[in-house]
Amino acid sequence: MPSAVCSIRPRVSAWLVLVLLVLSCFPVPRLFADDPVQPDKWEATIKKFEETDAKAKPAPGGIVFVGSSSIRLWKLSENFPELPAINRGFGGSHLADSAKYADRIVTPHRPRVVVLYAGDNDIASGKSPETIRDDYKNFVAAVRARLPSAKIVYISIKPSPSRWKLADKAREANRLICESQACDRCQSFVDVWPGMLGDDGQPRPELYVADKLHMTPQGYEVWTKLLRPYLQ
């Protein structure tokens, strides 16, 4: 019996070597933390902004609006026809994205005012209010590094019907961001909740389109009225 076992072992070893040699001819997928960084999902969008600016660069001293889809969909020329407003919103983005690209799509314009709306998608993706507050501070730092005297106006995370179950987290993120501005006179917080809630304490349905997340022209009218005093 022992001699039979011994006769099998060399054959098993030979097959193992053959299998390893075959496998070595194929690339092994990288599944771990040292994988190469994937292409930036926003790079194409940011490059388009840069190309637009290269063709007709806005004059300095204007107002840059930046952030997620609520900014991207805002018809600034209709709501603020008398102001030099530049729209640099990119839908689906998070607050950290605005911070990351501030030196490419915000500060090059040398605006006197920067209006930021982001954080809505952050809450929906599960980020904590503290993380959102920290990302806002990173945005401020990015702007301040090149524009120390520019005014930064943050529009609070809005109360959306489709994300009403996350309302408490949105309120907390808003509170933390507002609190972080306390020692800086060049930062302002625009709370849109009072204007977007009805007498029943629920989001006003007429302010939202069918997805119950993005806004109707009436919703933007509410924002425009609240924001205008900070832009004069």
Domain assignment of residue 183, yes or no: yes
**Structure confidence by residue, pLDDT tens digits, 16-61:** 545 444 444 444 443 333 333 345 889 999 999 999 999 988 899 9
Domain assignment of residue 108, yes or no: yes
Domain assignment of residue 109, yes or no: yes
Domain assignment of residue 24, yes or no: no
Domain assignment of residue 72, yes or no: yes
Domain assignment of residue 150, yes or no: yes
Domain assignment of residue 226, yes or no: yes
CATH number of the domain at 167, please. Answer: 3.40.50.1110
Q: Which of 186, 110, 177, 89 is nearest to 137 (CA)?
A: 177
Residue 165 belongs to what domain range?
61-231
Structural domains of the chain, count: 1
Interacting residues of 152 by C-beta distance below 8 A, sequence separation 6+: 113, 114, 116, 139, 140, 143, 186, 187, 188
Predicted confidence at residue 232, as pLDDT, reads 83
**Structure confidence by residue, pLDDT tens digits, 187-198:** 999 999 999 999
Question: What is the helix (H) or strand (E) element at residue 116, kind and residue range?
Answer: strand 113-117
Predicted confidence at residue 10, as pLDDT, reads 47
What mean pLDDT is predicted for residues 128-157? 98
**Structure confidence by residue, pLDDT tens digits, 101-129:** 999 999 999 999 999 999 999 999 999 99
CB-facing half-sphere around the CA of 141: CA atoms within 13 A: 10
Structure-model confidence comparison of residues 33 and 14, the more confident one: 14
**Rounded CA separation 134/126 (Å):** 15
Domain assignment of residue 12, yes or no: no
Residue 112 per-residue DSSP state: S
Count of all residues that appear for the chain in the document: 232
Predicted confidence at residue 34, as pLDDT, reads 37
- Residue owning tokens 């006197």: 112
What mean pLDDT is predicted for residues 211-232? 97
